[in-house]
Structure 1
Amino acid sequence: MQINRLFEIVYILLDKKTVTSKELAERFEVSTRTIYRDIETLSSAGIPVYMSKGKGGGISLLSDFVLNKAVLTEKEKANIISSLKAVSSVNLSETDTALEKLSSLFGETNTDWIEVDFTSWHNAEEEEKELFCNLKSAILSKNTISFSYSSGKGENTKRQVYPLKLCFKGQSWYLYGYCKTRCDNRFFKLRRMKSLSVLDETFHKRPPTQVFSKKDMLKEDFITLTLKLSKKMAYRIYDEFNTFEQLEDGSFIAEIIFPKGDLIFNYITSFGEDCEVLSPEEVRLDVKTKLQNTLKNYL
């Protein structure tokens, strides 16, 4: 397509400074006449490209040219670079190449204001990278996958899933997909997935635009917890909660959407004596019962 060729011509000129029409024609397998028309198109679009004759001549850009606001605004360029920096944190080498090219194309010299690292502190980087890349491949090629999964209740099951999207939320990576075993859409925490296999079977389901909408998260697999936390937990309130209010005594009432299962009890008890479950009532009673049973171990 011409638009792709035009974009690459600009990048080549930024990289090589000067190139002949013959070299461009051979690269794109078109005639030199087509290259001349491309140069006219770029010039008409406001790109300062010019041609010089004689020895050492060819097609060039003005030396101080960068992709300007006629194509993308400064804010749009910054957003693209920032997004690529975030994606590159999962160690995808092709992202690094795109980041390098676009930084050069935009003339960006001050792009080191942000650094994102989604990996954990423990040494499982290569294993996570391989899993992430295999899932990405399966999503793009629309291949069914199978894997062993450990649920929040400690149950190990074999699943076959149509992988639709990789998502990051609450300090964890999730796979969102249609589970053939449960006949419904599900979230799967990547840390709990083992023995991943990409199958030959393909599927045609399309991913939703947004899977972490409040509507989707209030389905069967998630629950809204209302907690009362002491003022000693202020540092965690600001780190972990988006919805909260502080009372006159310094304590907090906070809400959080959390996956159902035994992880709720683990999360509540991580606050020690500084947390009280206000709702839902069934969670409050479940935590109370488990705490009473735990206390029996110390009698």
Structure 2
Amino acid sequence: MNIKLARLFEIVQILLTEKKVTAEKLACHFEVSKRTIYRDIETLTLAQIPVYSEKGRYGGIGLIKNFTIDKSFLSQNEQNEILFALQSLNAVQYSKNNITLTKLNSIFNRKADDWIEVDFSRYGENDSILFEKIKNSILEKKVIKFLYFNTKGKKSKRTVEPLKLWFKEKAWYLFAYCRKKKDIRQFKIARIKNLELTCEHFERELKKEDLKNQNNVNGKGTKIVIEVDKSQAYRVYDEFFEENIAKKENGNFEITIEIFENEWLYGYLLSFGEHLKVLKPARIREILAKKVEKMRENYKN
């Protein structure tokens, strides 16, 4: 269940309790544009919900008298899916969702058990404020500004229309339309600093092809074969997929991965210290050897 569906349910609930309400009032309540509200009303009409609108000084949006929601049109599994989806919004601290969840619990005459909890913060750090700002900017469709550091450490100011939070390969990313690049871009959350939530509203939506294109932006990557000492088993099973791991006769692990090659990768491989050896390709072996030699130079008197 997405944010729009949750909003549609709540609009119906508001119209059930109020005889008539203006589009301006609904837009203010949900912190969206009037245009979005009118699209929601059209969606409800297409779903055969008897919504009507009247123009003029005493006009507004309402429901035909004596209309009630028949909960029987949803199966028990469908009711559970709706409640579970709303609870997942609670897990990311979408507080405005509580009202909708309470009302639907009442309509369905049931209460789904809590099943999910999410903590965005890293150990010893408080990232929850940053995630709260990004989450609100996506849900409320508000433009944000921030400083961003790329993989080479270069700093730039960005103004973006945030579209989706995405978690992949142990890291969080923000998909957004970057006004500087005039295109959809993905930003690693850990590299976002001084984020500012503006009052400017936008209407852009993220298309499936945008997400697919960004997912494939870096190509296939480099195939790497490494050997990791058996003493590092805790890291091996935490950080690699089981299908990529093979156990050698000496007890060590041989791991085959395909990954985009950059400075981060070199640093990651070196983080294993003397417990890791690159078997293939030879080029990466040489790069790491040079870096180790440079490290030795840094500690010479």
Q: Considering the TM-score relative to the shorter chain, is it more than 0.5?
A: yes
In structure 2, the gaps of 5 or more residues are: 21-50, 53-62
Query: Does residue 238 of structure 2 align to residue 239 of structure 1?
Result: yes
Q: Which residue of 2 aligns with 1:262?
A: 263
Does the 8 Å CA contact 2:133/2:197 hold for their aligned counterparts? no
Q: Which residue of 1 aligns with 2:123?
A: 121
Q: Which residue of 2 aligns with 1:132?
A: 134
Sort the Cα spacing of 1:25 and 1:125 in 2 relative to 1 into closer, same or farther, 3 A: closer
Alignment identity in percent? 32
Q: Which residue of 1 aligns with 2:43?
A: none
- Aligned mates of 1:212, 1:278 — CA distance in 2: 34
1:172-183 to 2 correspondences below 5 Å:
172-182=171-181
Q: Which residue of 1 aligns with 2:152?
A: 153
Deviation at 1:212, TM superposition (A): 6.3
1:195-227 Cα shifts (integer Å, max 9, x gaps): 3345687777542327665x6434238845534
Q: Which residue of 2 aligns with 1:27?
A: 18
> Helix, strand or coil for the counterpart of 2:156?
strand
1:157-176 Cα shifts (integer Å, max 9, x gaps): 22343433222223432111
> Helix, strand or coil for the counterpart of 2:208?
coil
Aligned counterpart for 2:255 among listed residues 225, 229, 253: 253
1:56-205 to 2 correspondences below 5 Å:
67=71, 70-74=73-77, 76-125=78-127, 127-136=129-138, 140-141=141-142, 143=143, 145-182=144-181, 184-197=183-196
Q: Which residue of 1 aligns with 2:217?
A: 219
Sort the Cα spacing of 1:203 and 1:235 in 2 relative to 1 into closer, same or farther, 3 A: same
Sort the Cα spacing of 1:156 and 1:237 in 2 relative to 1 into closer, same or farther, 3 A: same
> Helix, strand or coil for the counterpart of 1:28?
coil
1:112-156 Cα shifts (integer Å, max 9, x gaps): 343332332334255324432453257x25x4x432112232221
Sort the Cα spacing of 1:195 and 1:25 in 2 relative to 1 into closer, same or farther, 3 A: closer
Q: Which moved more, 1:153-162 or 1:121-130?
A: 121-130
Does the 8 Å CA contact 1:241/1:254 hold for their aligned counterparts? no
- Aligned mates of 1:237, 1:245 — CA distance in 2: 8
> Helix, strand or coil for the counterpart of 1:121?
coil
- Aligned mates of 1:149, 1:287 — CA distance in 2: 28
Does the 8 Å CA contact 1:90/1:119 hold for their aligned counterparts? no
> Helix, strand or coil for the counterpart of 2:166?
strand
> Helix, strand or coil for the counterpart of 1:219?
coil
Sort the Cα spacing of 1:154 and 1:211 in 2 relative to 1 into closer, same or farther, 3 A: same
| Alignment TM-score, normalising by the size of structure 1 | 0.63
Sort the Cα spacing of 1:102 and 1:116 in 2 relative to 1 into closer, same or farther, 3 A: farther
RMSD of Structure 2 on Structure 1 (CA): 4.2
Matching residue's letter, 1:72 = S
Does the 8 Å CA contact 2:91/2:116 hold for their aligned counterparts? no
Q: Which moved more, 1:194-203 or 1:244-253?
A: 194-203
Sort the Cα spacing of 1:11 and 1:192 in 2 relative to 1 into closer, same or farther, 3 A: same
Matching residue's letter, 1:244 = N
Sort the Cα spacing of 1:296 and 1:188 in 2 relative to 1 into closer, same or farther, 3 A: same
Q: Which residue of 2 aligns with 1:15?
A: none
Does the 8 Å CA contact 2:145/2:196 hold for their aligned counterparts? yes
Matching residue's letter, 2:276 = C
